[in-house]
Amino acid sequence: MSDPAWADAVGFVAGTLTTLAFLPQVLKTWRTRSARDLSLAMLLSFCAGVVLWLVYGVMIGQWPIILPNIVTLVLAGSILVFKLRESPPDGGDRESRRSP
């Protein structure tokens, strides 16, 4: 259970999955032109957290933390930009009922 090479491999796959997870979301949002079901608070909190992970990586000089978080920030940030442009000027989410 504590073989460092196995742990490194599991960590690498884990990081790849959580980093690239936002790619299909970017593609879906781009294709459907709708981000209404996405929570603005989720995107803001997540992007702010990723920025701080970047800062943390720079502070401790760890590229394995810096690089994936740059990729995540580009992906999650592009969804946030789409969401902000979609939201009405008053800043609230559209909660109007939709036809099924």
Q: Which residues bind a second copy (CB under 8 A)?
A: 1-4, 6-7, 10-11, 13-25, 27-29, 32, 34-39, 41-43, 45-46, 48-50, 52-53, 55-56, 58-61, 93, 95, 98-99
Closest approach of a second copy to the CB of residue 78, in Å: 13
Closest approach of a second copy to the CB of residue 10, in Å: 5
Q: What is the DSSP string of 49-80?
A: HHHHHHHHHHHHT-HHHHHHHHHHHHHHHHHH
Angle at 63 between CA 62 and CA 69, to 5 degrees: 105
